[in-house]
Amino acid sequence: MSNTFEMSMVGELTFFLSLQVKQLDDGIFISQSKYVKELVKKFSMKDSKHVQTPMSTSSKLDRDSDPNKIDHFLYRSMIGSLLYLAATRPDISFSVGICARYQADPRKQHIFAVNRIIRYVNSILNYGLHYSSESNSEITGYTDTDWASNKDDRKSTSGDCFYVGTDEAVCYTPK
């Protein structure tokens, strides 16, 4: 490639597009803990209470008839920031996707759900993806679909999970 393109070696890759890359003896660890800290600070949630899950299992989001609308720009900014974070945090992908459905007309229940996701990522900000050098490159995929669970339009929700190699745990904190 250096014959075709002008290149220079500046050392080992450690940071790229808000992705922190740590090259370990047993593989590569990619996280966005710096980005999470900036995200929490941006939305003034630094001192908020931590939660253990990104979304409550008992609450179901829907189109709300609450007359008190919230700031569309703030809500969309929060969703966009979380969508970028989901690149290295598959544990929030589903929750962010559900909240993203309501960007056209967000209400209080929607902003509460997004705030919970931010509180969750703040509680485990050092999580990321670990790609082991010892595993094979076999790809295994799983998918699941519910049947018409969306209370607003009765559409189905589907999800996918893919593993590269034999690693079962994708999110973890490096030692």
Could you tell me what percent of the chain has a pLDDT over 90?
Answer: 24
Is residue 23 domain-resident? yes
User: How far is C-alpha 111 from the geometric centre of its chain's CA atoms?
Assistant: 16
For residue 170, the model assigns a pLDDT of 47
For residue 80, the model assigns a pLDDT of 94
Residue 87 has pLDDT above 70, yes or no: yes
Is residue 109 domain-resident? yes
Is residue 39 domain-resident? yes
84: its two tokens: 């970028």
Provide the domain count of the chain. Answer: 1
Q: Which of 13, 163, 16 is nearest to 90 (CA)?
A: 163
Is residue 106 domain-resident? yes
For residue 166, the model assigns a pLDDT of 62
How many helices (H) and strands (E) are present in the chain, helices listed first?
4, 7
Q: What is the average pLDDT score of the chain?
A: 82
CB-based contacts of 82-85 (< 8 A; 24+ apart in sequence): 82/39, 82/114, 82/117, 82/118, 82/121, 84/18, 84/35, 85/32, 85/35, 85/36, 85/39, 85/121
For residue 174, the model assigns a pLDDT of 46
pLDDT tens for each residue of 49-86: 999 999 888 877 777 777 778 888 999 999 999 999 98
Mean pLDDT comparison of 59-63, 100-104, 114-118, 136-140, highest-scoring range: 114-118
Residue 175 has pLDDT above 60, yes or no: no
Cβ count near 29 (within 10 Å): 21
For residue 147, the model assigns a pLDDT of 72
Contact (Cβ atoms closer than 8 angstroms) between residue 113 and residue 101: no
Is residue 78 domain-resident? yes
Is residue 101 domain-resident? yes
pTM: 0.76
Q: Which residue has the higher pLDDT, 173 or 10?
A: 10
Q: Which domain holds residue 127?
A: 15-135+165-172
Is residue 48 domain-resident? yes
pLDDT tens for each residue of 132-143: 777 677 777 888
Mean pLDDT of 86-91: 85
Residue 150 has pLDDT above 70, yes or no: no
Is residue 21 domain-resident? yes
